[in-house]
Structure 1
Amino acid sequence: MLLTGSNTMLLNSFVVALHQEFDIKDLGFLHYFLVTCTTNGLLLSQSTYALDIIKRAQMEGRKPMNTQISPKYKHLDDVTPFHDPTHYHSLVGALQYLTFTRPDLSFSVNFVLQFMHSPMQGHYQLVNRIIRYVHGTITFGLHMCKQSTLNLYGFSDFDWADIVVRNLMGHTQKRIDRFKDTRRSTSGFCKFLGSNIISWSAKKQASISRSSSEAEYKSMANATVELLWLSYLLHDLGILQNRPPLLLSDNQSALHMVANPVFHARGKHIEIDYHFVRENVQQGQLRTRHLPSKLQMADIFTKPLDKPTYEFIRHKLSLIPQHNLRKGVKNTEIVESPPCKESPAKNKIVQSPPCKERSAENEIINKTTQIKEITRQNANQLICVK
């Protein structure tokens, strides 16, 4: 909660009244400003906090990175125990707080969080790569567009049996055991209200999935719980939905299990999740639909991606850079142009022509400068004659 006002005594009395009613903690003065107004909405950015993380890691002069984790996990080759686990805990904890406005960091930060108990040198190198990525995208923030619909929908995806284990195949068993992989799948989802992302998650599942259909169905069950909770919250706030929320998935087997009540052959061991999702679909509280894998927005929460795919999904999540205008420049406006092949940039800064008053003022200044220069030259000539 942020309190502001011109009367200090009134603010102090209000804080005292809150202490008497609730168990709260006064954090003192404001250190970071999160929200920036734009021409068509709000931009949530933690750029100042991200800069503090970079300084804490002493990586101001390092080369920025375009992605966080390599799809081949090359940074995990070094299994030497890291000499300063406290420093590792500090950096990873700071990155976890940064994910509040940076959903693109969720998967990588969740991954390095799994090794807090015994970090290796390879894990610390991966943390450094994440910080270098933050350094390269330090002006990025989460954009909330004000001209949007209020339709609620979400994307659900999974990574079966953990891609890290599959990438470690061919290495020694000792190296695999060092990373303590449990073969549990990774679930990821994101929820949108119109064009604005409002909820996201990336974490390991609670148990091992014996098939990809089971892993996807568990992910769909978790996403269904979140969607229903958001729909109830919107209803309590007076925001009514014209139709049930929509859940999008790229796994056809899991979608067939929702639609076909007889399709039990590969789903007997996931009966609870199966009946939970199917019951909500039958009651009209949820809709499901298939979408192509290349349009799956939840991929960024479950696995490392190549640069083009990563940047495409990041843009779709409304993560855009903040425009840094020169201090003191006036008559400048930000004009949003529709994306096209000729101009892939989304936003363009257009300098408006100077006004007549400013032109007249500049002309007077120029004439005054010319008169001073002529007077100085005449004075120099008189000195030479004497």
Structure 2
Amino acid sequence: MRDLSNLHQFLGITAESHPNGLLLQQSQYAEDILRRAGMQNSKEVATPISIKTPQSSASPDFSNPTLYRQLVGALQYLTLTRPDITYAVNKACQHMHSPTDQHFDALKRILRYLRGTVHYGLPITGSSMNLRSYVDSDWAGDQQDRKSTTGYCNFLGNTLISWSVKKQTTIARSSTEAEYRAIAAVTTEIIWLRRLLEEFGFAQTSPTILYCDNTSAIVLANNPVYHARTKHIEVDCHFIRECIKNQSIQVHHISSKDQLADFFTKSLSISRFKLLVSKMLTSGASACRRVLNDKDIDYSKNNKTHI
């Protein structure tokens, strides 16, 4: 090994040094994607996915499916520093085997959004080393097979360190079941992160707070009594309750308007989307200034949540 001085470029990711930390961005890579698609001068849009997506089954097959797959694959790599497009890219990935003109139109919307936000990046700031998580689920959100989508994000202090959007493998028969499966998914990630931080010398001495906006799922997680209607998710029940019992996690309620994982599971209005993006990303022109200006979560005795 040898010292290559301060980090500037790594696998296409640019690391800009600022007084408050680092800004990780892939602006050059994003420009390359737009150039490959011929959309360098495209009209910008405010969100990467429309709230009302048409579900027409009569749309003809896209004439160049190879281009579609290449662009979607490139956007997948871009999500390493752009969580704001993760949900839209996940939707695009679901049609890689047989894209239609309608799917390509949705892909072009992502690129048009990217055109206006090409300098956005992920700030890495020095703050507390406390791990906290947010999890959400969109029950039966897929119009084709009615499967739910799991979305979660994990913060170390004020820094976003991991996130995920994934369609659930089975159909949930209630919103509680969908949320509970999402909790099980993020709990697995939390356990891995806690062990990794311990190896780095930052052991988490207190349970990781996991924020969920579904009260029924929270009650189910803390209730040791099984009911017949929950037997089909009994494995997840055992896993989550064991993690609560050994104080690896604590599941807390958070209002839907404060749920940061909201834009990992559904398309949102422009104002809502911009609000959540401002809490996770920043532009290179104002590096690390705007992100998570709110203080750490305040756990008061009456369990009120302050963002």
The answer for the alignment partner of 1:194 in structure 2 is 157
- Counterpart of 1:276 (choices 224, 239, 248) is 239
Q: CA deviation at 1:242?
A: 3.1
The answer for the alignment partner of 1:155 in structure 2 is 134
Distance 1:140 1:211, change over 3 A: same
Would you say 1:249 and 2:212 are equivalent positions? Answer: yes
Distance 1:254 1:296, change over 3 A: same
Relative to structure 1, is the Cα distance of residues 322 and 209 closer, same or farther in structure 2, using a 3 angstrom cutoff? same
Mapped to 1, the partners of 2:288 and 2:101 lie a distance apart of: 46
Contact kept? 2:151, 2:166, Cα under 8 Å: yes
Q: What are the residue-to-residue correspondences of 1:222-261 with 2, within 5 Å?
A: 222-261=185-224
Instruction: Report deviation, 1:236.
Output: 1.1
Q: Is the 8 A contact 1:255 1:288 kept in 2?
A: yes
CA RMSD of the aligned region, Å?
Answer: 2.5
> In terms of mean alpha carbon deviation, does 99-108 or 261-270 score higher?
261-270
Is the 8 Å Cα contact of residues 152 and 194 (structure 1) preserved in structure 2? yes
Shift of 1:4: 4.3
TM-superposed CA distance for 1:61, in Å, is 1.6
Q: Distance in 2 between matches of 1:123 and 1:245?
A: 39
Shift of the 33–240 alpha-carbon distance from structure 1 to 2, 3 Å rule, reads closer
Is 1:285 the counterpart of 2:265 in the alignment? no
Q: Which amino acid aligns with 2:139?
A: W
Q: Which one of 282, 299, 305 corresponds to residue 320 of structure 1?
A: 282
The answer (yes or no) to whether the contact 2:211–2:252 under 8 Å persists in 1 is yes
Q: Mark the runs of 5 or more structure 1 residues left unpaired by the alignment.
A: 6-28, 166-180, 325-333, 341-386
Structure showing greater Rg: 1
Cα 1:205–1:156 shift into 2, 3 Å: same
Q: 1:277-298: CA deviations, max 9, x gaps?
A: 0111012121110000011111
Deviations 1:214-238 (A, max 9, x none): 1110000000000011001111111
CA deviations over 1:121-157 (Å, ceiling 9, x no partner) = 00000110000100100111001112x1111110111
May I ask how many residue pairs the two structures share in their alignment?
A: 290
Structure 2, unpaired ranges of 5+:
294-307
Instruction: After TM superposition, give the deviation of residue 262 of structure 1 in Å.
Output: 2.3
Aligned partner of 1:131 in structure 2 is 111
Instruction: Determine the structure 2 residue equivalent to 1:304.
Output: 267
Alignment partner, residue 216 of structure 1: 179
For the residue of structure 2 that corresponds to 1:267, the secondary structure is helix
Residue 266 of structure 1, CA deviation: 3.4
Structure having the higher helix fraction is 1
The TM-score, its normalising length taken from structure 1, stands at 0.71
- On the 8 A contact 1:247/1:286 being kept in 2, the answer is yes
Q: Which amino acid aligns with 1:131?
A: L
* 1:275, distance to aligned residue in structure 2 (A): 0.9
Code of the aligned partner of 2:41 = G
How do 1:340-359 residues align onto structure 2 when only pairs under 5 Å count? none
After superposition, the C-alpha distances for 1:143-201 in whole angstroms (9 at most, x for unaligned) are 1112x111111011111112x41xxxxxxxxxxxxxxx222111010001010010100
CA distance in 2, matches of 1:207, 1:339: 34
Distance 1:275 1:110 in 2: 29
Matched, 1:51 2:31: yes
Matched residue, 1:356: none
How has the CA–CA distance of structure 1 residues 337 and 157 changed in structure 2, closer, same or farther, with 3 Å as cutoff?
A: closer
Larger RCO of the pair (alpha carbons < 8 Å, separation 6+): 2
Question: Match of 2:62?
Answer: 82
Counterpart Cα distance in 1 of 2:168 and 2:289: 41
| Residues in 2 aligned to 1:293 and 1:119: alpha-carbon distance in whole angstroms | 34
Q: 1:339, 1:120 → 2: CA distance? A: 39
The aligned residue for residue 205 of structure 1 is 168
Separation in structure 1 between the aligned mates of residue 55 and residue 84 of structure 2, nearest angstrom: 19
Contact 2:279-2:290 within 8 A present in 1 as well: no
CA deviation vs aligned residue, 1:242-285 (integer Å, no higher than 9, x gap): 31111110000100001222252532211000110011101212
**Aligned residue in 2 for 1:96:** 76
Q: What is the CA deviation profile of residues 64-87 of structure 1, one whole-angstrom value per residue up to 9, with x for unaligned ones?
A: 111011111148686111011001
SS at match of 1:266: helix
